[in-house]
């Protein structure tokens, strides 16, 4: 039981620390030659249980 509790604590800690570490590494890479950030939006829709999914990609 104690191992399960420690595993839960480790998962919570990893979930809260990961975004902070990712944000820190992204801010350092913004030197010369970084270029603009590309945003891609994808919309997917399907109707019914066996409906075929269709989607669109919007590159901005």
User: Rounded CA gap, 52 and 44, in Å?
Assistant: 10
For the entire predicted model, the pTM comes to: 0.34
DSSP E strand stretches across 1-50: 40-45
Q: To the nearest whole number, what is the mean pLDDT of the chain?
A: 75
Q: Is the pLDDT of residue 32 over 60?
A: no
Average pLDDT for 49-59: 76
> Taking residues 12-33, what's their average pLDDT?
69
| Mean pLDDT to the nearest integer, 41-60 | 77
């Amino acid at each position: 039981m104690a191992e399960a509790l420690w595993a839960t604590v480790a998962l919570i800690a990893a979930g809260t620390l990961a975004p902070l570490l990712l944000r820190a590494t992204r801010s350092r890479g913004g030197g010369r030659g970084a270029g603009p950030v590309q945003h891609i939006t994808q919309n997917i829709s399907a109707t019914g249980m066996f409906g075929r999914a269709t989607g669109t990609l919007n590159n901005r």
